[in-house]
């Protein structure tokens, strides 16, 4: 595996030149209307699932996307997989704008982008044998030839016993089912696989098996991954470049190690800090965020992170105050050197982390941010979908 770079080298097996990304997403916006009424529906508001997102996915590389529930990571993935239409913005595939393509024109493109889902059992038809499941994309796309042989090859490739092609999903364990899902995704020899939390539902010891398999496949086939996860450890392990998302926006975009070694967005710092590491005394080094993620139906003005941002309080010098700019102006992703982009008016500097923790320590015990807790509820009283209900679960998939 090569070292991750911003403009990746041409990897063996990749069909695109280094400069043109496989996928280039620009200004993606997705709003889900919140409707009332049975027959005559009228939108009474929107869930801002994506609020203008740019990213590139390069052939043979993995773009990791991390964030908490409601951050829009799954929406972005589904838009790339063409399972959802963006409200605004464009997606180019190998330099070609596919946002405007018709269903029919999309057919060949669909082969090149496949999805592996979180819950391996829910995404497999229990009445079909594994062979049928893996062969289904071949059938749908009219691939000729010895399908059974092809299926068995695929099964072997993902570490399943090819003899078991006649068995049904319930006869397999969780990890094996996820292997079936991967084999199915591989059947059409895609260029990009979107992995939506592919190991979250698996036991720890099995997670490693699947992650290793994904890594091996990438090396062998030059696959690109868009890897969605809430688990920073997993994302760090698989990704070349990582986008951190918060409330529908990318707040930080960086190469893997740059992100972990030198996070510049306060949210990224908090996220890394909060992740359990199993290290002794880790707790004392934690940066705890106050409150919860606000509702994407009523995102805060300015920087959406400002109500919870410890850095903003550091800047203002008052735990209860936030600089005006953070409250009013929305920061855009800005390059802070070597392709490291951050959307923050006051990016983290050396020593900030320790200082922030001091503020935090006093804040976390005083009942979080009272305004936040109640305000969020009020924003959601009228049966508006909760972020976790809607953005990642309510898209009809």
Partner 1 sequence: MSSPREGHKLLEVRDLRVHFPTEDGVVKAVDGSSFALDRGETLGVVGESGSGKSITFLTVMGLINRSSARISGSVLFEGEEIIDASAARLRDIRGKRIGMIFQDPMTSLHPMHRVGDQIAEVVLTHTGASKKEAARLAVESLAEVGMPSPETRARQYPHEFSGGMRQRAMIAMALVLKPSLLIADEPTTALDVTIQAQILELIDELKEKFNIGVVLVSHSLATIADVSQDVMVMYAGRPAELGARDQVFQDAQHPYTWGLLESVPRPDVRVERLIPIDGQPPSLITLPPGCAFSPRCRHVRPECTAAVPELRDRGSGHLDACIIEPDEKTRLREERLAALEAGA
Partner 2 sequence: MGRYIIRRLLWTVFIVLLASILTFLIFFVLPAGDPALRFAGKQPTEELIAQARVNLGLDKSLPQQYWLFLSRLIGGDEYGWPGLGYSFHTRDAVLPELIDRSRVTGSIIVGGALMWMVIGVPVGVISALKRKTFWDRGLMGICLFFISAPVFWLALLSLLIFWKHLGWLPGTGYVPFAQNPGQWFAHLILPWCILALLYAAIYARLVRANMIDVVSEDYIRTAWAKGLSPRKVVMHHELRPALAPIIALFAIDLGALVGGTIVTETVFNMQGLGNWLLIAANNNDLPVTMAVTVVVAAAVCILTLIADVLLAIIDPRVRLQ
The β-bridge relationship of strands 341-342 and 334-335 is antiparallel
Are 306 and 300 in contact by the 8 Å Cβ rule? The answer is yes
Applying CB under 8 A, does 288 fall inside the site for partner 1?
yes
If we measure between CA atoms, which residue out of 294, 332, 248, 251 comes closest to residue 51? 248
* Partner from partner 2, partner 1, none binding residue 36, C-beta < 5-8 Å depending on class: partner 2
Residues 223-282 binding partner 1 (CB under 8 A) are 230-238, 256-257, 260, 270-282
* Partner from partner 2, partner 1, none binding residue 364, C-beta < 5-8 Å depending on class: partner 1
Per-residue interface string for the shown chain with partner 2, residues 13-42, x marking contact by CB under 8 A:
-----------------------x-x----
Distance of CA 312 to the CA centre of its chain: 26
Could you give the CA distance from residue 70 to residue 72 in angstroms, rounded to a whole number?
5
* Partner from partner 1, partner 2, none binding residue 367, C-beta < 5-8 Å depending on class: partner 1
Least distance between partner 2 and beta carbon 380 (Å):
11
What burial letters (b/e) apply to 291-317, b meaning 16+ CB within 10 Å? bbbbbbbbbbebbbbbbbbbbbbbbee
Which residue has tokens 């470049």?
241
**Beta carbons within 10 angstroms of residue 331's beta carbon:** 21
Applying CB under 8 A, does 368 fall inside the site for partner 1?
yes
Could you give the CA distance from residue 59 to residue 63 in angstroms, rounded to a whole number?
10
Least distance between partner 2 and beta carbon 384 (Å):
9
Applying CB under 8 A, does 40 fall inside the site for partner 1?
no
Are 83 and 67 in contact by the 8 Å Cβ rule? The answer is no
Applying CB under 8 A, does 362 fall inside the site for partner 1?
no
Residues 72-111 binding partner 2 (CB under 8 A) are none
* Partner from partner 2, partner 1, none binding residue 68, C-beta < 5-8 Å depending on class: partner 1
- Residue 113 tokens, joined: 């982008």
**Beta carbons within 10 angstroms of residue 98's beta carbon:** 17
Q: Which of 261, 338, 349, 382 binds partner 2 (CB under 8 A)?
A: 382
**Beta carbons within 10 angstroms of residue 240's beta carbon:** 25
**Rule CB under 8 A: which residues touch partner 2?**
36, 38, 382-383
**Rule CB under 8 A: which residues touch partner 1?**
1, 68-69, 173, 175-176, 203-209, 211-212, 215, 230-238, 256-257, 260, 270-283, 286, 288-289, 292-293, 364-365, 367-370, 372-374, 376-377, 380-381, 386, 388
């Amino acid at each position: 595996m090569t070292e991750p770079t911003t403009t990746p080298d041409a990897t063996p097996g990749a069909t695109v030149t280094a400069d043109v990304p496989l996928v280039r997403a620009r200004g993606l916006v997705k709003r889900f209307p919140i409707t009332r009424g049975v027959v005559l529906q009228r939108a009474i508001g929107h869930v801002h699932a994506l609020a203008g997102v740019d990213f590139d996915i390069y052939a043979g590389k993995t773009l990791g996307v991390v964030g908490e529930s409601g951050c829009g990571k799954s929406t972005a993935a589904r838009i790339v997989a063409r399972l959802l239409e963006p409200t605004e913005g464009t997606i180019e595939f190998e330099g070609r704008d596919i946002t405007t393509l018709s269903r029919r024109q999309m057919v060949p493109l669909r082969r090149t982008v496949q999805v592996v889902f979180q819950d391996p059992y829910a995404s497999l038809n229990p009445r079909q044998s594994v062979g049928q499941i893996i062969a289904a994309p071949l059938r749908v796309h009219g691939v000729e030839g010895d399908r059974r042989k092809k299926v068995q090859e695929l099964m072997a490739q993902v570490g399943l016993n090819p003899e078991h092609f006649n068995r049904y999903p319930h006869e397999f364990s969780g990890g094996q089912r996820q292997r079936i899902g991967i084999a199915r995704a591989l059947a059409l020899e895609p260029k990009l696989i979107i992995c939506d939390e592919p190991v979250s539902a698996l036991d720890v010891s099995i997670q490693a098996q699947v992650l290793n398999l994904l890594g091996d496949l990438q090396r062998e086939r030059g696959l690109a991954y868009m890897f969605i996860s809430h688990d920073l450890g997993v994302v760090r392990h698989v990704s070349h470049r990582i986008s951190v998302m918060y409330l529908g926006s990318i707040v930080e975009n960086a190469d893997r190690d740059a992100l972990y070694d030198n996070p510049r967005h306060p949210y990224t710092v908090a996220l890394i800090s909060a992740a359990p590491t199993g290290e002794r005394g880790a707790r004392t080094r934690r940066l705890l965020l106050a409150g919860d993620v606000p509702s994407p139906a009523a995102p805060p003005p300015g920087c959406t992170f400002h109500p919870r941002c410890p850095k903003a309080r550091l800047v203002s010098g008052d735990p209860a105050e936030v600089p005006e700019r953070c409250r009013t102006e929305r920061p855009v992703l800005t390059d802070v050197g070597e392709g490291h982009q951050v959307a923050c008016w006051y990016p983290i500097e050396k020593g900030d982390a320790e200082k922030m923790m001091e503020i935090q320590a006093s804040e976390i015990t005083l009942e979080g941010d009272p305004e936040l807790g109640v305000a969020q509820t009020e924003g959601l009283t009228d049966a508006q979908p909760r972020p976790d209900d809607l953005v990642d679960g309510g898209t009809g998939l």
